[in-house]
Amino acid sequence: TAQPKAPKETYRTASVSSERYLSTLNVPVDITTAEVTRQLNARLSGLLYEDDSLRDDDFACKVWKRAPIRVEAASDSFVFHVPLKVWAKFGYGFKPLGLNLSTYKETDFEADVRFATGVSLNPDWTARTHTEWRGFDWVSKPSLRIGPVTIPIASIVGKILTRNRETITKGIDDAVHKNVEIRKQVVQAWNAALQPYLLSEQYRAWLKVTPIELLMTPLRTDGDRIRATVGIRAVTQTVFGERPVVKPVTNVPDLKLVPTVPAAFRVSLVAQLTHAEARRLLADTLRGRQFSFSDNRYTVRVTDVDLYGSDDKLILKVDVTGSLNGTVYFR
């Protein structure tokens, strides 16, 4: 029978560190132009553009998408082939038999228009595009019918469209800025990342990730793909015990735009284990275990186990029965 004197329970609180170590992960983003095409056609349908004011330039028009949009990657931008149906109304003047007449006429036609658009993200997660007019091809040329006479006006309408190209491209950029909501998806992804992940049901071990900031390189095209790299800086912890409670966020930090994100990554994994949870793990592991010594001449069975601190040492208190009855302390 052994009942030794228990080592004194003392703690050095000054040695407890609350320092948080940041982990840095890099996540490559790879999107095919086929996926951009699919999403673009899903978002854009029907009436795309409308200018119903004749006061500023004697020109009004409505523009519809006629067929699916095609997307190609070129250099640092995307080239969009947009099949359009256009209705136009404009002031038209002519001088038959020396008479000076002017009136408003309407026409409709079809054309395939080309735009080149550079895409990027602002720090506030809004989408920023810069669209340039790349010309168009007639599918059906516009004309005016005045009495029995049909007057081809393709060259006139072409000049009007070209003259208004800045208005049209600005309308596209404004529509993207207003309608492409990215922050909402980032908040959802951020909250998904906050959810603890169960590593081990037996040891009740949870991986807890707390994102701190997000970095992103500029989007660039590579063949038929759009590539970028997202850098995530987060605090990663292993927590033992009950599932950690996390509060969902309603906002995320501004995006940090950087030229490059380091290819290497680092994970600093901090483990938090309370004494109570450590006692439970020890008891589940050791309670009821038998140990034999000296060619099985002696055998002890663990009946209980505990732990505590003694200055900078960890003390294990183990109660045993069998060839030895009592308590054994391990420093």
Q: Residues 6 or more apart from 154 whose CB is under 8 A from it?
A: 109, 138, 141, 142, 143
145 or 239, higher pLDDT = 239
Q: What is the pLDDT of residue 10?
A: 92
Out of 29-33, 114-118, 298-302, least confident range: 29-33
pLDDT band of 147, cuts 50, 70, 90: low
% of the chain exceeding 70 in pLDDT: 89
- Considering only the C-alpha atoms of the chain, give the largest distance between any 2 of them, rounded to a whole number of Å: 131
pLDDT above 60 (res 274): yes
In angstroms, the CA 219 to CA 229 distance is 8
The model's pTM is 0.60
pLDDT above 60 (res 331): yes
316 or 155, higher pLDDT = 316
Q: What is the pLDDT of residue 129?
A: 82
Q: Residues 6 or more apart from 262 whose CB is under 8 A from it?
A: 24, 26, 231
- Taken in order 158, 163, 164, 168, is the CA torsion positive or negative? positive
pLDDT above 90 (res 232): no
The alpha carbon of 231 is separated from its chain's Cα centroid by a whole number of angstroms, namely 11
Q: Which of 33-47, 108-122, 161-175, 296-310 has the highest mean pLDDT?
A: 296-310
pLDDT band of 101, cuts 50, 70, 90: very low
In angstroms, the CA 169 to CA 131 distance is 6
Q: What is the pLDDT of residue 128?
A: 81
For the chain, the average pLDDT equals 82
- Over its C-alpha atoms, the chain yields an Rg (Å, rounded) of 36
Residue type, 329: Y
Q: What is the pLDDT of residue 50?
A: 82
pLDDT above 90 (res 243): yes
Which of 322, 233, 308 shows the shortest CA–CA distance to 276? 308
59 or 273, higher pLDDT = 273
Beta-carbon neighbour count of residue 290 at 10 Å?
Answer: 11
- DSSP string over 97-141: GG--EEEEEEEEEEEEEEEEEEEEE-TTS-EEEEEEEEEEEEEE-
Q: What is the pLDDT of residue 100?
A: 45
Q: What is the pLDDT of residue 299?
A: 96
